[in-house]
Amino acid sequence: MLEAGLLVKPPTRKADVETLEVVRRLRPQAILLNFPENIEEIVYSYSKGLIDYDEFVESISEKLPEPKSTWIKGFEVLLRELPGIGELADIFCYTDVELFDQEAATSVEIALLAIKCIVREKIDVEEWVKVLKKSVIGEDERLGREFSKIIDVAQNYERVICISGFEGKYIKRRLEQAGVKSWIRYLGMPYHFTPLEILKRLIMLDKIDKELFSKLIKEHIRFLREYVYYMSYADAVEKWVRERLYWLPVGRVQPG
């Protein structure tokens, strides 16, 4: 019977390692990665051992928007292990390219806003809301486009795994509506959303509170100054999570 599994992976090394462990244990026939579709051919060639890692990075760098090095670094654990995964399954990429580029451009705008806040020591909440809305606008459209790719692949294999962010629960819902048996597993738990992730979530829910947003923006800037400045983003998020959830037993909480 056709079956698709969703692995929800937050941006931490712990989650990356768990993803690799689950994939190797379950041995799916196909894996859908939340990478932009325009690098799928390169990813496939690399996963099958046709090119080495350096060639792979050079090739995808030509197709990724800035800051490309940040994206590559963020997925480095998974990227380096793709040839081993490719021995087990066919690899596909399903993230919409246009919206991926848009998200990358918005990330740069957010970074510039943070720098402006640090220099001016003043937060313009309305300006932040305007930029953050770009990050979440068209979410339904994006999921619709990406789901079409996911279902096309899923219908050609009996066991498929799709790696996603926290939108995985929506993908699972749509798979079930399409008659595909599915399950979901959250990796890298427990997890604490970063201030920026919380801000985006509030924007999606149209819950805009100026005082709360101001506090979260300040917390995001502190996160950049005290964590991201000193280490890779994945390590920064992992340290952030560990320090905020030090009192929780491991595995206690999962984002819903």
Q: What is the DSSP letter of 120?
A: H
pTM for this structure? 0.87
DSSP state of 182: E
Tell me the two tokens of residue 128.
């932040």
Structure tokens that stand for 172 in this block: 């699972």
Question: How is the beta sheet containing 159-164 ordered, strand by strand?
Answer: 90-95, 30-36, 159-164, 3-8, 181-186
Give the tokens for residue 197: 């992730």
Classify strands 3-8 and 159-164 as parallel, antiparallel or unpaired.
Answer: parallel
Rg of the chain over all Cα atoms, to the nearest angstrom: 19
Those residues with Cβ within 8 angstroms of residue 81's Cβ, 6 or more apart along the chain or in another chain: 20
Other CB atoms within a 10 A radius of the CB of residue 231 amount to 12
| Cα gap 97→83, rounded to integer Å | 23
Q: How many helices (H) and strands (E) does the chain have?
A: 13, 5
CA dist 242 and 236 (Å) reads: 10
pLDDT tens, per residue, the chain with 256 residues: 578 999 999 999 899 999 999 999 999 999 999 999 999 999 999 999 999 999 999 999 999 998 888 889 888 999 999 999 888 899 999 999 988 888 888 889 999 999 999 888 889 999 999 999 887 776 667 777 888 899 999 889 999 999 999 989 889 998 888 888 999 999 999 888 999 999 999 998 889 899 999 999 999 999 999 999 888 888 889 898 888 876 544 444 344 4
pLDDT of residue 251: 42
pLDDT for position 80: 94
Integer Cα distance of 44 and 42 in angstroms: 5
List the domain boundaries for the chain. Answer: 3-244
Q: Do residues 19 and 161 lie in contact, with contact meaning Cβ atoms separated by under 8 Å?
A: no
